[in-house]
Amino acid sequence: MKNSVKGYVHSIETLGAVDGPGLRFVLFLQGCPLRCKFCHNPDTWRFEGGEEVTVEQQVKQILRYRTYIQSGGVTISGGEPLRQAEFVLAMIRALHEEGIHVAIDTSGIYCEGVALEAAMEADLLLLDIKSFDMERAKELTGFTTEHAWRLLQARQDAGKPVWIRHVMVPGITLVDKQSDGRAFATEEEWRRANEELLGGIEKLKSFSCVERIDLLPFHKMGEFKYEELHFPYELKDTEEPDEQVVEWAENALR
């Protein structure tokens, strides 16, 4: 019966290379309660819509690519995949029966009940920390990140691996210019202005389950979708971070 559980799929990527280790089949599920201002997939927000599939149907499609994804596996993303927790849990178990590695890419917004069970069943969690300041996260997404830290702690307690993702948005989660608009002259000046970001990195490093931290520069590749959907795009005037600033942030990780 578990293979008859239905889910709603927004889209797929058959050979993804940035959503976990190795080549991966990436399943984007429909629906997300967050309204991240930097989201590049606002077309996944609606809870209704998407293609209805059963676990059995979806696994059958994935297995056609088994040869290509042997080095990686499957990543279940969204939207927010744990909104469809029963489907995700059944998918993970069915894929595990086939010997396939499964990752979940989540904000952690759903971290109780079946959603927590699914998150703990996954071989790898890709956890999106939206901001290292609770209130700034709420302004940026509609929710604080308290749930994300709870889920991270649960993975820590279980000794299960996590990769962290954090988007660097100039003027919000990243200070990329001085107050007068000038570029920072030195890395040390930049570090003094980014105590929140650097403090967040240090906090994450205290979790032994965190295998990797990806600092992702803000980009505008999804801006056209807001126009097509007639959604307001609040970051229209926000510029992508300078390469020098991105390099300094990566130095902080090292």
Q: Give the CATH number, domain containing residue 44.
A: 3.20.20.70
Q: Pairing relation of β-strands 6-16 and 24-29?
A: antiparallel
For 104, the domain range is: 2-169+200-221
- Residue found under tokens 């499609």: 61
In a domain, residue 39? The reply is: yes
In a domain, residue 238? The reply is: no
Which whole-number Å values give the CA distances from 23 to 31, 180, 215, in the listed order? Answer: 25, 44, 21
In a domain, residue 67? The reply is: yes
pLDDT confidence of residue 2: 65
Give mean pLDDT in consecutive 10-residue pieces for the chain, a chain of 254 residues.
Answer: 86 94 97 93 91 96 96 96 97 97 97 97 97 92 95 98 96 91 93 95 96 93 88 91 93 88
As for how many domains the chain has, the answer is 1
Residue 156's H or E segment, with its range, is helix 146-158
In a domain, residue 252? The reply is: no
pLDDT confidence of residue 49: 87
In a domain, residue 11? The reply is: yes
In a domain, residue 192? The reply is: no
Q: Which two tokens stand for residue 181?
A: 């608009």
pLDDT confidence of residue 254: 84
Which whole-number Å values give the CA distances from 117 to 38, 62, 190, in the listed order? Answer: 29, 23, 41
pLDDT confidence of residue 135: 86
Q: Which two tokens stand for residue 167?
A: 């988007």
Q: Pairing relation of β-strands 162-168 and 124-128?
A: parallel
In a domain, residue 189? The reply is: no
pLDDT confidence of residue 220: 85
Give the separation between CA 38 and CA 224, rounded to whole angstroms. Answer: 13
In a domain, residue 207? The reply is: yes
